[in-house]
Chain A
Amino acid sequence: MSRRLSILATIILLLFVVAAAQAANIQFFRAPALDKSVLNPRVNEASTEYPRGEIVAGDGTILAQSVPTNNATYPYKRIYPLGDLTAGIIGFSSPYTQEWGLEAEYNNYLTAHAQPAESFEQLLSPTSAADTVTLTVEPALQKVAQNAMGGQDGAAVVLDPRTGAVLAMYSNPTYSPTPLTSLDPNIVAAAYKKITTPDAHGFPPLGLVATQQTFPPGSTFKVITTTAAVVGNPALLTKAYPVKAFTRLPHSNKLLFNDGGQPCGGTVAVMLPASCDPGYALLGLDLGANLMSATADSFGYDQLPPLDFPNVVPSYFPTAASFAANLPGLAYSSIGQENVRATALQQALVAAGVANGGEIMTPHFLSTITSPDGTVVKRYQNSVWLSPMNSNQAEQIVPLMENVVRYGTAAGIFPSDLDVAAKTGTAQTGNSLKNTDDWMIAFAPATDPTVAIAVVMPFQAESAFGATVAGPIVKCLVEGTLALQAGLPVSGTSTTCPSSPTAAAGSKA
């Protein structure tokens, strides 16, 4: 009898242990997922019952805040003082749709939640309030990008290569978040339909071009091809490639012409500033599919950049195996054409990697999260994401990119007193209009970089070049960032950067 009693008690005890384990599983391990679940009706309820936390820019500008309404159901609504300037990154919070952008990324902090107890009374009944999220974004640089892009579709990404902090990320098309925060569901529905409808180039305003659209990176990819040589096969750096206007591709009758048709060639040091297509195609073939694919991946291709932002897409470089029966494809891929695709964010990270001595810092928007009493709840800790090369190897590439600005394809774009390293890119899209996707990646000051930039302006005319279309935008952003970092007014250093989007559009016309 006693034995059966012991067995019975043990079985019951084990059942209690299982029940406790499941409770712990739900309340500890699965709690964050349950809290975010779209099936959780309190998520929306909590977002309207209490004011959401503020989102603040690096300079203290309020980018999002909740204001009281007269509506009993929704006593607060969200406003975005900078409107379409920051809509792409901040997103929006509406009672009728899910959160978007950074509003979604930091929803748990921005939604009212129990605050740490400061008294015994609060221990038993904690107060609910939301935290404030402070970003690294500088609205002044957002404005520079918006003005310089002149309303044309495209994206500009400005990073601090030393930390990975996103200083600006602006994309066109953009949208006004105001109707999306309306308490009238019909207005919200109409606005939502509008921002999810693609424009003439196929870009819906809701999808941030900088992180969600990929384009052939064109000659900006030559920085990666150069890195492959520096890191994986340095002997090729001194190999002189024949000076030709075109090269015949292996295993085919295809001819790869230099963009513009002029003959070019020589060593890498000669070919990068001139952006010699036939030479780099041959260099890519010499480097081989394995090294090219591995180097692209070492810069972050084919993986998700760990940006604290939803819906970021990876950039793409074909697998080495796919080139086994397609050597012409390897030649085109080495100059950023054919199937290679990159986001503006990815190419900004390429520039930042070279600028930061070969280390790509994890990109991030977050600076700090503070509770209502000012306590820092979370402070972003800088970390290295990837190391495609060492600092000695990076130092070999920097002067080549400086020469792009001095006498290469970006000559004449930057004032001579600006110490900039850059690479242009003009990718053929192959569409019926023979449009080009025009790129520039850059960092400055080249000797001790504090800013890394990528700008892509897709669907430009056949006659357009990365230097002529993206170049002026990069120039304005470089000037603006360096001025900001020197404590000077962003707009006070340049006379050639447009002061408003309409002025830019007008000057272009």
Chain B
Amino acid sequence: MATKSSAKGILQPTPSGNFAARMLLLVTTLLVVFGTIMVASASEGQSAANGGSSFSIILRDLVYLGFGVFTLYVMTRVKVERLIRSAPLLMLVGLAMLVAVRLVGVTTNGGKRWLNLHAILLQPSEIFKLSTVLFLAWLVQLHHDELAEWKHLLIWTSPVSIGATLILVEPDIGTTSVVVSIAFVMLAVAGLATRRLCQVALIGVSIFFIYMKMKPYSAARFFSFLHPNNDLVSSGYQLLQSKIGLGAGGLTGLGLGNSREKFGLLPNPHTDFIFSILGEELGLVGTLIAIGLFVWFLFVATRIAKQCTNDVYRVIVVGITTWIVLEAIINIASVVGGWAVTGVPLPFFSYGGTALITELAAVGLIYNIAHDGSRTRPTTASAIVPSQLRDPYDRGRDQRTRERRPSTGQRLGR
């Protein structure tokens, strides 16, 4: 069913009637329900250890979920164009919050990552992922050609680089890698030349190794997954307990609520290592179902991206999908001992208010975009032109960007 957007205001009528979008809502609902059940179970030990009710964590999670569903609803109705135009402002807000974390942030477990807003411990690095997606979309829309040149590429992506650096020094190497990956993939899909992509990747890897050289302690922790039995007291302990938990789960698990690892043996059972508790309680069947849901999410989101009639929107869908599935892969791989434990959460599963709300907002945006074909006139790669993205209130900029628009089918960096 086609929906009609109103010219005024930031919201438009709620879109509905698109098969892929409905599938997206269905798989997200399944992920969130599954995730919430797992938080309820995995947080039992931590809640008890905190001295309160064993429901204290899950009750907060449900409140966050409520906020998340509301944000999702808002994002399904927001005018994507307006959102993209606000991207620089949102990026500025994101950077400001990351600077605030440096100045007045809350430190937990050696990481200074949160802002205490009393009602919620806000994690700006989670919000920065969404800022990055929108900012990159804005860049692709308005500065497409300029990105082909090294100088302009570095200048225009510098807000993302600054944000990533601020997150890296929190320190949060996991979130940094996700932000950088989102930007890289979005630029790749937007058409940055292969040679340029390789150069960017090379620089990224070089910076990673220089950082590791400068921070030998972080490097030792990062690479401890390669030799998990070397240091069973500190860095290897968590991974070993994770594997023992998964092993205890076996094929069908110990039963929902029956994890033994969550009672003080496995640190962070309801956040970073919730997948291990899932495997312990529901076995290989449970872990494969969870992985299957993420794969389903990937298929649905990829389908939406391919059906996109607007290349900028497509880049947004790709950015958000990369964010969700990459985090899932990094988290699962680290829990099963195939990648470094870097504190990357499992989307929709790991307990964390900011992450859950931002992820649901991002899904809302994909749902919204899934209807772009039924809302606007189809556009193609050659048609990402300012005139079609023109906003009645911003004619002057449209005029400027029109002069810079790429020729039909032209790729960045040629």
Which parts of A19-55 form the interface with B (CB within 8 Å)? 19-20, 22-24, 26-28, 30-35, 37, 39-42, 45-46
A1 touches B (CB below 8 Å)? yes
- State A426–B284 Cα separation when bound (angstroms): 58
- State A41–B244 Cα separation when bound (angstroms): 9
The 8 Å CB contact of B291, one of A16, A33, A125, is: A16
Query: B338 to nearest A CB, angstroms?
Result: 5
- What chain A residues lie within 8 Å of B191 (beta carbons)? 1
Q: Quick check: A12 and B329 within 8 Å, CB to CB?
A: yes
Q: Quick check: A124 and B298 within 8 Å, CB to CB?
A: no
- What chain B residues lie within 8 Å of A42 (beta carbons)? 244, 248, 260, 265
- What chain A residues lie within 8 Å of B318 (beta carbons)? 5, 8
B247 touches A (CB below 8 Å)? yes
- What chain A residues lie within 8 Å of B287 (beta carbons)? 20, 23, 27
B258 touches A (CB below 8 Å)? yes
A7 to chain B: closest residue by CB: B188
Q: Quick check: A114 and B258 within 8 Å, CB to CB?
A: yes
B294 to chain A: closest residue by CB: A16
- What chain B residues lie within 8 Å of A37 (beta carbons)? 244
B251 to chain A: closest residue by CB: A28
Query: A41 to nearest B CB, angstroms?
Result: 6
- What chain B residues lie within 8 Å of A201 (beta carbons)? none
B314 to chain A: closest residue by CB: A1
Q: Quick check: A26 and B336 within 8 Å, CB to CB?
A: yes
A18 touches B (CB below 8 Å)? yes
- State A39–B233 Cα separation when bound (angstroms): 11
- State A4–B184 Cα separation when bound (angstroms): 12
Do A124 and B291 form a contact, CB below 8 Å, given A8-B189, A19-B336, A37-B244?
Answer: no
Q: Quick check: A5 and B246 within 8 Å, CB to CB?
A: no
- What chain B residues lie within 8 Å of A1 (beta carbons)? 189-191, 311, 314, 381
A2 touches B (CB below 8 Å)? yes
Q: Quick check: A30 and B325 within 8 Å, CB to CB?
A: no
The 8 Å CB contact of B250, one of A8, A28, A39, is: A28
Query: A8 to nearest B CB, angstroms?
Result: 6
The 8 Å CB contact of A30, one of B247, B279, B299, is: B247
Q: Quick check: A9 and B247 within 8 Å, CB to CB?
A: no
Q: Quick check: A22 and B333 within 8 Å, CB to CB?
A: yes
Q: Quick check: B314 and A27 within 8 Å, CB to CB?
A: no
- State A369–B220 Cα separation when bound (angstroms): 47
Query: B42 to nearest A CB, angstroms?
Result: 15
B185 touches A (CB below 8 Å)? yes
Q: Quick check: A19 and B298 within 8 Å, CB to CB?
A: no
A13 touches B (CB below 8 Å)? yes
What is the number of contacts between chain A and chain B, taking CB atoms within 8 Å? 126
A116 to chain B: closest residue by CB: B252
B237 to chain A: closest residue by CB: A39
Do A31 and B336 form a contact, CB below 8 Å, given A5-B306, A5-B318, A19-B291?
Answer: no
- What chain A residues lie within 8 Å of B336 (beta carbons)? 19, 22-23, 26
- State A228–B254 Cα separation when bound (angstroms): 54
Do A9 and B314 form a contact, CB below 8 Å, given A23-B336, A30-B247?
Answer: no
The 8 Å CB contact of A27, one of B251, B257, B311, is: B251
The 8 Å CB contact of A19, one of B247, B265, B322, B338, is: B338
B241 to chain A: closest residue by CB: A41
Q: Quick check: A31 and B247 within 8 Å, CB to CB?
A: yes
Query: B48 to nearest A CB, angstroms?
Result: 17
Query: B316 to nearest A CB, angstroms?
Result: 13
Interface mask (B307-342 → A, CB under 8 Å = 1, otherwise 0): 000010010001000100110110011001110000
Interface size range of chain B in the complex: 35 or more
The 8 Å CB contact of B247, one of A34, A41, A125, A126, is: A34
- What chain A residues lie within 8 Å of B246 (beta carbons)? 23, 26-27, 31, 34
Which parts of B282-300 form the interface with A (CB within 8 Å)? 283-284, 287-288, 291, 294-295, 298-299
Q: Quick check: B249 and A16 within 8 Å, CB to CB?
A: no
Interface mask (A164-177 → B, CB under 8 Å = 1, otherwise 0): 00000000000000
- What chain A residues lie within 8 Å of B265 (beta carbons)? 41-42
- What chain B residues lie within 8 Å of A45 (beta carbons)? 260
- State A330–B337 Cα separation when bound (angstroms): 54
B243 touches A (CB below 8 Å)? yes
Q: Quick check: A23 and B298 within 8 Å, CB to CB?
A: no
Q: Quick check: A5 and B298 within 8 Å, CB to CB?
A: no
Interface mask (A248-280 → B, CB under 8 Å = 1, otherwise 0): 000000000000000000000000000000000
- What chain A residues lie within 8 Å of B294 (beta carbons)? 16
- State A15–B338 Cα separation when bound (angstroms): 11
Q: Quick check: B314 and A34 within 8 Å, CB to CB?
A: no
Query: A48 to nearest B CB, angstroms?
Result: 13
B232 touches A (CB below 8 Å)? yes
- What chain B residues lie within 8 Å of A123 (beta carbons)? 255
B229 to chain A: closest residue by CB: A39
Query: A75 to nearest B CB, angstroms?
Result: 16
- State A30–B284 Cα separation when bound (angstroms): 12
- What chain B residues lie within 8 Å of A122 (beta carbons)? 255
Query: B82 to nearest A CB, angstroms?
Result: 24
A114 to chain B: closest residue by CB: B254
Interface mask (B325-361 → A, CB under 8 Å = 1, otherwise 0): 1101100110011100000000000000000000000
B256 touches A (CB below 8 Å)? yes
Query: B136 to nearest A CB, angstroms?
Result: 14
Q: Quick check: A8 and B185 within 8 Å, CB to CB?
A: yes
- State A4–B185 Cα separation when bound (angstroms): 9
B242 to chain A: closest residue by CB: A26
Q: Quick check: A16 and B298 within 8 Å, CB to CB?
A: yes
- What chain B residues lie within 8 Å of A9 (beta carbons)? 298-299, 302
Query: A139 to nearest B CB, angstroms?
Result: 35
- State A32–B302 Cα separation when bound (angstroms): 39
- What chain B residues lie within 8 Å of A22 (beta carbons)? 333, 336-338
B20 touches A (CB below 8 Å)? no
B331 to chain A: closest residue by CB: A19
- What chain B residues lie within 8 Å of A12 (beta carbons)? 298, 322, 325-326, 329
Do A13 and B338 form a contact, CB below 8 Å, given A19-B332, A27-B247, A114-B255?
Answer: no
- State A9–B321 Cα separation when bound (angstroms): 10
Interface mask (B397-412 → A, CB under 8 Å = 1, otherwise 0): 0000000000000000
- State A35–B191 Cα separation when bound (angstroms): 50
- What chain B residues lie within 8 Å of A15 (beta carbons)? 329, 333
Do A124 and B295 form a contact, CB below 8 Å, given A23-B332, A40-B244?
Answer: no
B305 touches A (CB below 8 Å)? yes
Q: Quick check: A16 and B302 within 8 Å, CB to CB?
A: no
Q: Quick check: B279 and A27 within 8 Å, CB to CB?
A: yes
- State A45–B314 Cα separation when bound (angstroms): 53
Supply 4 further A-B pairs (C-beta < 8 A) apart from A16-B298, A23-B288: A9-B302, A20-B291, A22-B338, A31-B249
List 3 tightest A-B contacts by C-beta distance, closest first: A34-B247, A27-B284, A31-B247
Give 21 pairs: A residue, B residue, CB < 8 Å, sorted on A. A1-B381, A12-B298, A13-B295, A16-B325, A16-B328, A19-B329, A19-B332, A19-B338, A20-B291, A23-B291, A23-B332, A24-B288, A27-B251, A27-B287, A28-B250, A34-B246, A40-B244, A42-B260, A42-B265, A114-B258, A125-B256
